[in-house]
Structure 1
Amino acid sequence: MKYFSVLIMITVLLCQSCNPKKNIVYLSNNNFEQEISQAKYLGLHIQEGDRLQILVSAFDEIAVRPFNKSSMSTTSSVSADKSGVSGSSGSPSEYVVNSDGTILLPTLGAVYCKGMTKQQLKQDLESRLMRYLTDPMVTISLTNFSFSVLGEVKSPGQKTSTNEKLNLFQAMALAGDVTYDGNKTNVKLIRYSDSEAKDQVISLDLSEASIVNSPYYYLQQNDILYVEPDRNKQVAVHSNSNVDQWIKYGGVGLGLLTLILSLTRK
């Protein structure tokens, strides 16, 4: 009877492990009668700690120098940093967003930028510079764009990208793609919300073609993606844990039985 019970348990485990894998294909659920439009890219929203490379240009190269930290001499750069100009880093034109959401620019002083897109900050700075320069042009780039991918991917961890317009599938590619045991239908996106002052957790189904139209299709810096294991792996892990427990208890019982037999023989 014992052997029969063990045989049944092994058979059940084998059947569970042989269940067909579902939803292993990206964008597999698609209504081809409807056109799927891609989400509009609204740009990254500037956050505290972001490193922004900002360059100001205009027709008059001499007049533009006081507005570019990169054009200052080493001595003036040091004195400027001591007076409060932020962003002292490897790049002479790089500025760090302070905890109060501002960057400190030469001549212009403190400029609030937290929550803005790069395009909004560009327009704001150019309007300020028009008081001093003719047709000023500002170029802004984010130099520390990073995100994290955890769970059932081949290469989990923090990732960096030179491409700021990064979508979910490009992020998965940088993480080596989802493993066979990963659940593409319930990927968790963890994103900090300034308006709510807390992390948001959003569930995303990467097997749905409509995901390309989601407001979360493009990543923001410091996003976290978590790919949970699928049902088969969760059941297998739970079953293996139960088997380990039975083996442990069986070993203890066998030891006690051996001890009792040895004592009775005496």
Structure 2
Amino acid sequence: MKINLLWFFCFIMFVSCKSSQDLVYLSNLKESEYSINIQNKVKPRIQPDDLLAITVSTLSPESNALFNSGVLQGAGKGVIASGEKNEGYLVDDNGFINFPVVGKIQLAGFTKEEATEKLTTEINKFVRKPIVNVRFLDFKISVIGEVNRPATYTVPTEKINLLQAIALAGDLTAYGKRENIALIREKEGVRSVVRVNLNNKDILNSPNFYLQQNDVVYVEPGKSKAVQTSLSRNNLQFGLSIGLSLISVLTVLLTNL
């Protein structure tokens, strides 16, 4: 009982002494107005295993069907659509896709705009003035750890920053370490971990503020979480001890009446 009471009071003291500043995002932002020129936006680059949606529009219905996963029949037989949903083009381990008519073309390392320009140039060899659109089908980020809704999220706009990702996950819990967020990223075959501080306004101008496809945001638990977990494990024993103590006190009081 004494040990449980000691843990309980230690927990209360720790929580009481913990600065409320730790729970505030951008806590060193003192100005009533604050603005910076956005220079940290990094366009995502195509990577192996990315899934791309590619559409081609031309003046020729036959060419449209051919370049958009249609099946072009022989002369006089018209055009018959494949009937299958276009599931996108998977970038292979070497950074190539296999595109109709054009064949294998390398897109890894390109931004979406650069890939569009390259595809337009290649397709223009077969049909005049093609209009090409490229977008990511699997731009995903994951948020795990001390958040209310840990999950993997698909981002349709291909643009998301760290604060928006945390908002998708329902914000950090009170136990999350806002000053030590781990950002796990894979780029060109290298996996790296970067630490960011959400209490510092400098994050707004950090190159890690905007997320890339397949980024993982991990929110570590603070020390108070460990204390709370320890208390939970002993919760039943603690409750029984308090109950027995109350019964003992009541027994003594009733005996002296």
Structure 1 equivalent of residue 252 of structure 2? none
Structure 2 equivalent of residue 38 of structure 1? 38
Amino acid at match of 1:217: F
Structure 1 equivalent of residue 89 of structure 2? 95
Distance 2:194 2:104 in 1: 35
Structure 1 equivalent of residue 159 of structure 2? 165
Structure 2 equivalent of residue 15 of structure 1? 13
When residues 108 and 178 of structure 1 are mapped into structure 2, their CA distance, relative to the original with a 3 A threshold, is same
| 1:135, distance to aligned residue in structure 2 (A) | 2.7
1:194-205 aligned within 5 A: 194=188, 197-205=189-197
TM-score by length of 1: 0.73
Q: Indicate conservation of the 8 Å contact 2:8/2:231, yes or no.
A: no
Structure 2 equivalent of residue 217 of structure 1? 209
When residues 91 and 116 of structure 1 are mapped into structure 2, their CA distance, relative to the original with a 3 A threshold, is farther
Structure 1 equivalent of residue 103 of structure 2? 109
Structure 2 equivalent of residue 231 of structure 1? 223
- Does the alignment pair 1:56 with 2:56? yes
3-state SS of the aligned residue for 1:120?
helix
Distance 1:23 1:117 in 2: 37
When residues 242 and 19 of structure 1 are mapped into structure 2, their CA distance, relative to the original with a 3 A threshold, is farther
Q: Which runs of 5+ in 1 are unaligned?
A: 76-87, 248-266
Distance 1:26 1:6 in 2: 34
Amino acid at match of 1:149: V
Paired-residue identity, %: 32
| 1:128, distance to aligned residue in structure 2 (A) | 1.7
| 1:163, distance to aligned residue in structure 2 (A) | 2.2
CA RMSD of aligned residues (A): 3.2
Amino acid at match of 2:152: Q
When residues 98 and 19 of structure 1 are mapped into structure 2, their CA distance, relative to the original with a 3 A threshold, is same
Q: 1:176 aligns with which of 154, 170, 174?
A: 170
3-state SS of the aligned residue for 1:218?
coil
Could you report, residue by residue, the CA deviation over 1:111-169 in whole angstroms, capped at 9, with x for unpaired residues? 11112211111111112223233332210111112121111000112222222111111
3-state SS of the aligned residue for 1:123?
helix
Structure 2 equivalent of residue 256 of structure 1? none
After alignment, is 120-129 or 9-18 more displaced?
9-18
3-state SS of the aligned residue for 1:92?
coil
1:185-200 aligned within 5 A: 185-194=179-188, 197-200=189-192
Distance 2:116 2:209 in 1: 24
| 1:243, distance to aligned residue in structure 2 (A) | 7.0
Distance 2:174 2:106 in 1: 46
Q: Indicate conservation of the 8 Å contact 2:11/2:224, yes or no.
A: no
1:55-94 aligned within 5 A: 55-58=55-58, 60-62=59-61, 64-65=63-64, 68-72=67-71, 91-92=85-86, 94=88
| 1:7, distance to aligned residue in structure 2 (A) | 6.4
| 1:94, distance to aligned residue in structure 2 (A) | 1.8
Amino acid at match of 1:161: V
Q: Indicate conservation of the 8 Å contact 1:190/1:225, yes or no.
A: yes
When residues 6 and 146 of structure 1 are mapped into structure 2, their CA distance, relative to the original with a 3 A threshold, is closer
3-state SS of the aligned residue for 1:37?
coil
When residues 157 and 67 of structure 1 are mapped into structure 2, their CA distance, relative to the original with a 3 A threshold, is same
